Amino acid sequence: MELERALHGLPIEDRKERIASVHDKVKAYLVLWPRVRKLEEPKDVGKALSPDEEKRLIDTASSKIRWKMLSTFVHMALLTGMRIGEITALTRGQANLEKRVLTVERAKTESGTGR
């Protein structure tokens, strides 16, 4: 689909050149792929913080006045499970303070929708 959009409106010769270029890249990928060493997956993915670890994190983030914004991010992440990119991308329009609801629009979900 992306290739179709990239080719749309190009003269035939340019289309052929682009397709040949993509074909060459795919061939190179297929040759290199079996030789690529996969990185080991971390074993602690998804490990929740203990209550003591949460307290230490909050205390550390709150320990300096210049870290006030960091403290806010840490609290929000711990309370909501949001990622730092989701927190920093928030806008006022995504927060409904009356209903106490935040809508995350650009979330990393399999369906590509917000959460």
| Eight-class DSSP state of 101 | E
Say whether pLDDT at 49 is over 80: yes
The model's pLDDT over 80-97, given as tens digits with 9 standing for 90+, comes to 888 888 888 888 888 888
**What's the whole-number mean pLDDT along residues 90-112?**
78
Query: Is pLDDT above 70 for 106?
Result: no
The 3-state DSSP class for residue 96 equals strand
Q: What is the pTM of this model?
A: 0.49
- Round the average pLDDT of the chain to a whole number and report it: 78
Which has the higher per-residue pLDDT, 37 or 81? 81
Quote the DSSP letter at residue 64. Answer: S
Give percent above pLDDT 90 in the chain.
9
Question: In this model, does residue 69 exceed pLDDT 70?
Answer: yes
Average pLDDT rounded to a whole number, residues 84-113 = 78
Q: Cβ neighbours of residue 104 under 8 Å, at least 6 residues apart?
A: 82, 86, 90, 94, 114, 115
Q: Which residues contact 57 (CB under 8 A, 6 or more apart)?
A: 49, 74, 78
